[in-house]
Amino acid sequence: MGTGPDVLSGRRAVRIVVAKVGLDGHEVGARVVARGLVDAGMEVIYTGLRRTPEQVVATALQEDCDVIGISILSGAHMPLLRRVCALMKEHGLDDVLLLVGGVIPDVDVQPLREFGVDEIFHPATKIDEIVRFITANVRSGPGDPEQNGTS
Amino acid sequence: MTGTRRRPWGVPADEEFFRLDAGPAVQAVYDRGDLSRRDVGDERIGAPGTFPFTRGVHPDGQRTAPTLVKVYTGLGTPDDTNRRVRKLVDWGAEIVQLAVDLPAQIGYDPDHIMSAGEVGRSGVSIASLRDLECVFDGVPVSRLRRVGMLGNAIGPIALALFLALAERQGCQVDDFVLDLQNDPLKEYVARGTQFLPVEDAVRLAADVVEWSARHAPHFYLLDVCVNHLNAAGAGSTWGTAFALGNATHYIQTLIDRGLPIDAFAPQIQLFLDEREDFFAAIANVRATRRIWAELLRDRFGALDPKSMALEVTAYGHGRETRKEPLNNIVRITLGSLAYYLAGVQSLYTASYDEVIQTPSDEAVKIAVRMQQIMGLEIGLGLTADPLGGSYYLESLTSELEAGIRERFAAVEAAGGARACIDSGFIREIISDGAVRRQERYEAGVRPMVGVDRLAVADDDSWAVRPTSVMSEAAEERRRTDLAELRRVRDGRRVTGALRDVEAAVRRGDNSVATVLEAVRAYATIGEISDVLREVFGEWVPDQTF
C-alpha cells in the first residue's frame, strides 16, 4: 500500500491530506498551508472543518496519502491526536508522516511525539520550512523536484 | 527611493513596507492639498455627535460616554469561571461576555461524541441554565453594565439562557442589559461554529432581534463582526465591506418581517477590526461610521439619529507573538490605544498570553487595568475625536471609506451577502488575503520583533503564568453532572417544551418564547439544537481551499 512503483521512482507527487479535527473552526491556516503545498508541487486533499479522527484516517487510507497534516487550535489536541495515532497504527499507516500545526503549548510537544507525531509547526512558520521537512522525511525519500507536480 | 537607507535593525527598504495591510500606500507626508484633493471639507467630516458621525457618536466624546471595559472570558467548568467572573467584577470590568466552549457554541452537549476533548477547553462548558446559574453565582446580571455571550449559531438559546438566569436571580428585563453577537453569517466564512443551513441560521438570529425590538429595546442583540473576517485574511477593508453586506442582509430580513427600521437599528453594533496598522485602525472606525450613517438614512430610511449613529465595539489586539510574550502587552496597548482614540463604545483588550493559552488571571487583570489606565490616567478622553482634522488621518479615513464603499458595492452587485457566501466569493477573498499576508511576512516586509527580526534564544517561559487546564477527569465530571441533571429535572416538562419548540419553528413562528420555556425546564443546549437540526437539516463543510 502506498509504495507502488510510481512512488518509488519519484514520479508521483507527494500526496497530503490536510485535515481539521474536532470542533475548531479556524481553518484559514490550514487553507494557506494547503495552497502553499500545492504551489510546491504536492497534491493536497483538504477535509474541511470538523472531522473525527476516524474520518481523517479513513480519508488517508482512501487517498493513499504520504502525509497527514492536522491543524488544530482549540486545545483539544491531546485526546484527538492520541486517537489519530492509535488509528494510524491500527491501519498500518506507520510510514505516513504525521504533521501538526496550530497552537500547541510547549509542555505538550514531547508527549505528542511519543504518540507518533513527526513534527509540530507553530504559528509564524514559513511554508518553506514545512515543504523542506516533508521533502526530507517523506517515505519515498527526497523525490526528483523536477518530477514533482507534473502528474 | 529609499533603497540606500539601511537601518541596523533591519527596516525593509522595500516600497511594500510603506503599504498598509488595509490597502493604501502611505505617502511620506500629507498636507492641506491632500484634503482638498480628496474633497474632505468640514461638512464631510462633521462635528462629533452629528451626522455623518465621522468624529464619533457623542458631542463630547468620552466625557459622558467613556469606552466601556469589556472582557471575553470563560474557562473550564462553571465553577472555574465563577471564580474568574467574581474577580473581574472586583477589578472593575463593566461588560462580561462569556466565552463558552466549542461544543456549546455548536449546539452539542458535553456527552456528545463530537465534544470529546473539547469540553471546557476554549471556553466554559455550559449545557443548561443550571451551569449559567453557577457561573453567575453571587454576581447578579444587573451588577454589570452589560452581560452576554456570543451565541452566533444558537442565538435564541443564548438569549433564553440569560433571560432565564435573570429570572432566577430576581432581576427584571429592565434591570440589566444583554449583549450578544448573534451574527451567524460570518461563521460560514471565517469563524466556523455554524451547524444549520445559512438561511435558517439568519432566521433564528432575526428572531432574537425581533424579540428584543418588542420586549427589550435597550438590549444589544446584534453585533455584526469584521473581526473574524479580517483576522482570517480578508483584511479590514474587504472585511468591513463583507460585514456591511451581512448587516444589510439582517436588516432587510427584519424589515421584511414588518419591523420599522428605527425599532431595532439603535441596538445594532459593528465589531470593527484592524490590527495591522495603528492609523488605519482609527481611520477604519471613522470611515465606517460615515458609511453607516448614510446607509441607514438613505437606503433604509432611518429617521432616528440613534439608528444612524454607529455603536462600535472592538478587540484591542496587536500582532501578538509566542516568542517574548511580554512584548504582547506593548502590542496590545498600542492596538487598544487606536480604538480608544477612535472613540469606540466598548472595548475588549486581549491578554498577552492569549496566543499561547487560555489567559491566566494575571494576564486578564493586566488587560482590564490597561483600559482603566487609558481611561483615567493620561488625559486621552478629555476631548472628542482628538485626532480629527489631521492631514494624514482625514486623508486615510477618506481613502479607506472609498475602498470599503467600492467593495461593498461589489458585494451588492454579486447578489449580496448570502450569494457571496454561497458562491465561495468571500471564502476566495479570505484565502487570497491570508496567502498575501503570509507572503508579505515571508518577504520580510511585515517584521515581527523578536521573531523574524532581532530574534534571540532566551528562555521566556517564565513570562507566562500557567492556567489550570481542563483535565480529562474534569471533562468526565461534566458528563456525570449532565446525567444527574437529566435524572432530577422534570422529564415530561422538558419533552413537552422541546415539542413546542419544534412546532413553533415548523410553523415559522418566532422561536424565542418556546426556546425560553425549554431553557426554564432545564432542557440542554444540545437537546434544543437537535430539534433545530431535525427541522432545518445540517450544514455541510466546504472542502475547497
Q: d(Cα B62, Cα B44) in Å, to the nearest integer?
A: 22
Quick one: closest CA in A to B195, which residue? Answer: A50
pLDDT tens per residue, range A12-65:
899 999 999 999 998 989 999 999 999 999 999 999 999 999 999 999 999 999
Does the model's pTM come out above 0.90?
yes
Q: Which long-range contacts (CB under 8 A, 24 or more apart) does B446-455 make?
A: B446/B21, B446/B276, B446/B319, B447/B10, B447/B11, B447/B12, B448/A124, B448/B319, B448/B321, B449/B324, B449/B327, B450/B321, B450/B323, B450/B324, B450/B327, B451/A124, B451/B321, B451/B323, B452/A124, B453/B9, B453/B10, B454/B9, B454/B10, B455/B323
* Burial of B315 (C-beta count, 10 Å sphere; 0-12/13-18/19+): buried
Residue A11, pLDDT above cutoff 60: no
pLDDT for res A105: 85
The pLDDT > 90 percentage for chain B reads 90
pLDDT tens per residue, range B510-533:
999 999 999 999 999 999 999 999
Q: A48 and B543: CB-CB below 8 Å?
A: yes
* Residues B23, B405 contacting (CB under 8 angstroms): no
Residues contacting B132, CB < 8 A, separation 6+:
B78, B126, B161, B162, B164, B165
* Residues B314, B271 contacting (CB under 8 angstroms): yes
Cell of A28: 484559514
* Burial of B484 (C-beta count, 10 Å sphere; 0-12/13-18/19+): exposed
Q: d(Cα A16, Cα B170) in Å, to the nearest integer?
A: 56
Q: d(Cα A28, Cα B305) in Å, to the nearest integer?
A: 38
Domains and CATH numbers, chain A: 18-137 (3.40.50.280)
* Residues A138, A67 contacting (CB under 8 angstroms): yes
Site from B100, B105, B109, B121 to mutate, A interface, most A CB atoms within 10 angstroms: B121
pLDDT for res A1: 40
Cell of B524: 440542554
- Report A:50-89 residues touching B (Cβ under 8 A): 50, 52, 74-76, 78-80
B150 interface with A at CB cutoff 8 Å = no
Average model confidence (pLDDT) across chain A: 87
Residues B234-257: what's their mean pLDDT?
98
Q: What residues of B are in contact with residue A79 (Cβ under 8 Å)?
A: 116-117, 472
B187 interface with A at CB cutoff 8 Å = yes
Distance from CA of B153 to the nearest CA of A (A): 13
Q: d(Cα B188, Cα B195) in Å, to the nearest integer?
A: 9
Residue B149, pLDDT above cutoff 80: yes
Where does the pLDDT of residue A5 fall: very low under 50, low under 70, confident under 90, or very high at 90 and above?
very low
* B146-149 β-sheet, strand order: B146-149, B95-98, B68-73, B346-349, B311-316, B268-271, B222-225
A126 interface with B at CB cutoff 8 Å = yes
Backbone Cα Rg of chain A = 14
pLDDT for res B9: 64
Question: Nearest 5°: phi and psi at B428?
Answer: -65, -45
pLDDT for res A4: 44
pLDDT tens per residue, range B318-327:
899 999 999 9
Q: What residues of B are in contact with residue A52 (Cβ under 8 Å)?
A: 113-114
Quick one: closest CA in B to A39, which residue? Answer: B435
Domain extent listing, chain B: 57-455, 474-536
- Report B:98-137 residues touching A (Cβ under 8 A): 102-103, 105-106, 108, 113-118, 121-122
The shortest CB-CB distance from A106 to any of B191, B441, B461 is to: B461
Q: B102 and A128: CB-CB below 8 Å?
A: no
Where does the pLDDT of residue B210 fall: very low under 50, low under 70, confident under 90, or very high at 90 and above?
very high
Cα-based distances in Å from B320 to B12, B330, B355, B449: 20, 9, 7, 10
Distance from CA of B168 to the nearest CA of A (A): 31
**Regarding predicted confidence, which is higher, B541 or A136?**
A136
**Per-residue buried b or exposed e for A66-102, using 16+ beta carbons within 10 Å of the residue's own CB:** bbbbbbbbbbbbbbbbbbbbebbeeeebeebbbbbbb
Residue type, B1: M
Residue A7, pLDDT above cutoff 90: no
**Regarding predicted confidence, which is higher, B370 or B544?**
B370
Q: d(Cα B174, Cα B193) in Å, to the nearest integer?
A: 31
Residues B346-361: what's their mean pLDDT?
93
Cα-based distances in Å from A19 to A34, A70, B181, B355, B537: 10, 5, 28, 21, 24
Q: Does the ipTM exceed 0.85?
A: no
Domain B57-455 has CATH 3.20.20.240: yes
* Residues A99, A118 contacting (CB under 8 angstroms): yes
pLDDT tens per residue, range B415-448:
999 999 999 999 999 999 999 999 998 888 999 9
Residues B277-287: what's their mean pLDDT?
98
Residue B197, pLDDT above cutoff 90: yes
A35 interface with B at CB cutoff 8 Å = yes
Q: d(Cα A123, Cα B200) in Å, to the nearest integer?
A: 35
A18 interface with B at CB cutoff 8 Å = yes
Residue B239, pLDDT above cutoff 90: yes
The shortest CB-CB distance from B357 to any of A52, A105, A128 is to: A105
Average model confidence (pLDDT) across chain B: 95
* Residues B207, B157 contacting (CB under 8 angstroms): no
Residues contacting B311, CB < 8 A, separation 6+:
B57, B220, B266, B268, B269, B270, B345
Distance from CA of B434 to the nearest CA of A (A): 7
Q: Which of B146, B136, B126, B145 is nearest to B168 (CA)?
A: B136
Where does the pLDDT of residue A146 fall: very low under 50, low under 70, confident under 90, or very high at 90 and above?
very low
Q: What residues of A are in contact with residue B355 (Cβ under 8 Å)?
A: 103, 123
Q: Which of B158, B492, B180 is nearest to B313 (CA)?
A: B180
B473 interface with A at CB cutoff 8 Å = no
pLDDT for res B7: 57
pLDDT tens per residue, range A120-137:
998 889 999 999 999 999
CA angle B26, B31, B32 (to 5 degrees): 130
State the DSSP H helix or E strand holding residue B156, giving kind and residue range, or none if neither.
helix B155-168
Residue B497, pLDDT above cutoff 60: yes
Of the candidate ranges B19-28, B350-359, B400-409, B483-492, the one whose mean pLDDT is the lowest: B350-359
Q: How many CB pairs under 8 A join A and B?
A: 104
Q: What residues of B are in contact with residue A80 (Cβ under 8 Å)?
A: 116-117
Cα-based distances in Å from B404 to A139, B22, B53, B291, B519: 48, 10, 17, 9, 41
pLDDT for res B5: 53
Q: d(Cα B123, Cα B98) in Å, to the nearest integer?
A: 8
Q: d(Cα A74, Cα A52) in Å, to the nearest integer?
A: 14
The helix/strand/coil state of B100 is: strand
The shortest CB-CB distance from A80 to any of B117, B358, B435 is to: B117
pLDDT for res A10: 54
pLDDT for res B274: 98
B426 interface with A at CB cutoff 8 Å = no
**Regarding predicted confidence, which is higher, B387 or A141?**
B387
pLDDT for res B541: 87
Cell of B274: 484592524
Q: Which of B147, B273, B256, B263 is nearest to B202 (CA)?
A: B256
